[in-house]
């Protein structure tokens, strides 16, 4: 899965730590999400999308070839 989290975070000048606090996860979770090493639960994806004023499918791109 590819992600545009870093790009959307930059739009709101949010650090990984700040976004993590908004969605009640550890900063490391955001790091792993941005690197594509972790797939979020539906609830976490929803919470992140809400925090970044976007839609889940704008932030997370499913790549069928992976």
Q: All domains of the chain, ordered by start, with CATH?
A: 2-59 (1.10.260.40)
Token pair recorded at residue 33: 């999400």
Give whole-number Cα distances, 33 to 5, 6, 27, 46, in Å.
Answer: 8, 9, 10, 14
Question: Quick check: 66 pLDDT over 70?
Answer: no
- Is the pLDDT at 65 greater than 70? The verdict is no
Instruction: Please state the rounded mean pLDDT for residues 20-24.
Output: 98
* Range among 37-41, 45-49, 59-63 rated most confident: 45-49
């Amino acid at each position: 899965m590819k992600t545009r989290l870093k790009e959307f975070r930059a739009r709101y000048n949010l650090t990984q730590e700040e976004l993590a606090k908004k969605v009640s996860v550890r900063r490391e979770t955001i790091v792993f999400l941005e690197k594509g090493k972790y797939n979020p639960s539906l609830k976490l994806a929803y919470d992140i999308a809400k925090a970044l004023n976007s839609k889940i499918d704008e932030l997370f791109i499913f790549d069928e070839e992976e």
